[in-house]
Amino acid sequence: MANAPTKASRPPPRAPLPGPIEWLRENLFSSWGNAALTVVALLILYWVVVPFVRWAFIDAAWTGTGRDDCLAFENGACWPFVSERIGQIIYGFYDVTERWRVDLTLIGLALGLLWLTMPGMPGKRPVGAVMVLAYPLIAFVLLAGGFGLEEVPTTRWGGLLMTLVVAFTGIVASLPLGILLALGRRSELPVVKGLSVAFIELWRGVPLVTVLFMAANMLPLFVGLSVNKLLAALIAVALFSSAYMAEVIRGGLQAIPKGQYEAAAAMGLSYWRSMAFVILPQALRLSLPNIVGNFIGLLKDTSLISIIGFFDLLGIVQAGATDPEWATPNTALTGYAFVGAVFWAMCFGMSRYATHLEGVLGAGGRR
């Protein structure tokens, strides 16, 4: 044993360098390859981020009332363009004296959502029912008028309001419709199954732009009656997104082992009860990341309604940027930067909430 060959001993461990330098060496410069990647990444950051920060903040015009104030800052953003138009960006052409109605609608939405999303709030079921069933009607009356409120035609809606109206309608309508379609597609009744498949594949097979265009411009020509364009667009968006939602939920349904169906049947549960209490809660939990992904996609797709003459958040900024009173080399760029930031904030918020929800439901941990 004593003369057994010994392995060449490893070199002694390198003494750690002081503090952050050790961290840098371990994480950023651990090998020549990594070091090169680090340098490239830093250079890209330097070339992209530094000029952007300079343009957006350091060299930017922050106050002013017209293009002359922005022309003085030729290499920076023109923020007064956004601040002077912030009312229009939020409300579109909504009459200034009636804007409180939009505020009330949005505050109602925010309160309802907060109530439903904050952990530990009492009475989530009734509040949820109110938000899904009554709120859309109340919001419609508030926004469009009627019952003593002055009419504000949908041609005057726009901006963030329009984006939220379209996205909210799509989101609220697509989940229940999507669940029904997904169940229909897995149904053993041939007619139900056939209709569901046909519906889903039809709507998934055409681009949203085409759907919107057909709904707003062609339907009145074919059917011969003039429908409200916004209503047509909202219905189109709801049907379109429900087809996508159906497939997302079907993915969740397929992940449920057969034993769960059999167990539910063995308990003597009817089809609808077994779906409602056994299958769907699990399937929806599994589909959550994709459902939220769909919602985020839908929120961003709302910009497409500009092709039928409605201005969403992006559309109203684009239109505003053509105003000769504000024409500068940086006006349009500033508008786009602002719209990008708002969209990002909304989508990131949804995504963070979904992550939180996954944690609460333990969807990630269970599988």
Partner 1 sequence: MRSTIMRFAALAVAGMLALAPAFAAPSPTLAKVKKNGFLRCGVNEGLPGFSVPDTKGEWAGMDVDFCRAIAAAIFNDPKKVRFFPTSAKVRFTALQAGDFDVLSRNTTWTISRDVQIGLEFIGVMYFDGQGFMVPKSAKVTSARQLDGASVCTNTGTTTELNLADYFRANKMKYKVIAFERNNEVISAYDKGRCDAYTTDASGLYAERLKLTKPDDHIVLPEIISKEPLGPAVNQGDQPWGDLVRWTFFAMLNAEELGVTSKNVDQMLKSPNPEVRRLLGVEGAFGESLGLTKDWAVRIVRHVGNYGEVFERNVGQGSPLKIKRGMNALHTKGGLQYAPPVR
Q: List the structure tokens of 101.
A: 């109605």
Burial of 287 (0-12, 13-18, 19+ CB in 10 A): buried
User: What secondary structure letter does DSSP report for 98?
Assistant: G
User: Toward partner 1, which CB reaches closer, 88 or 196?
Assistant: 88
Site for partner 1 in 82-111 (CB under 8 A): 84-85, 87-88, 91-94, 96
Measured CA to CA, the distance from residue 144 to residue 157 in angstroms comes to 9
> Which member of 327, 354, 357, 361 binds partner 1 (CB under 8 A)?
327
Q: Does 217 bind partner 1 (CB under 8 A)?
A: yes
CA distances from 193 to 4, 184, 237 (A): 74, 5, 23
User: What 3-state class would DSSP assign to 319?
Assistant: helix
Q: List the structure tokens of 326.
A: 């504000």
Closest approach of Cβ 10 to partner 1, in Å?
Answer: 59
Measured CA to CA, the distance from residue 119 to residue 155 in angstroms comes to 39
User: Toward partner 1, which CB reaches closer, 230 or 245?
Assistant: 230
Site for partner 1 in 62-81 (CB under 8 A): 67, 71, 74
User: Toward partner 1, which CB reaches closer, 205 or 224?
Assistant: 224
x/- contact string, 109-138, with partner 1 (CB under 8 A)?
A: ------------------------------
Q: Does 210 bind partner 1 (CB under 8 A)?
A: no
Q: Does 169 bind partner 1 (CB under 8 A)?
A: no
Size of the site for partner 1 (CB under 8 A): 43
Cβ distance 167 to 302 under 8 Å? yes
Q: Does 145 bind partner 1 (CB under 8 A)?
A: no
User: Toward partner 1, which CB reaches closer, 26 or 150?
Assistant: 150
User: What secondary structure letter does DSSP report for 277?
Assistant: I
Closest approach of Cβ 323 to partner 1, in Å?
Answer: 5
Q: Does 328 bind partner 1 (CB under 8 A)?
A: yes
Cβ distance 302 to 312 under 8 Å? yes
Closest approach of Cβ 144 to partner 1, in Å?
Answer: 14
Cβ distance 97 to 83 under 8 Å? no
Torsion (CA) 194, 200, 201, 204 in degrees, nearest 10: 180
Measured CA to CA, the distance from residue 160 to residue 94 in angstroms comes to 11
Kindly list the residues in this chain that would bind partner 1 in the complex (CB under 8 A): 67, 71, 74, 84-85, 87-88, 91-94, 96, 153, 155-156, 213, 217-218, 220-221, 226, 229, 306-309, 311, 315-316, 318-329, 331-332
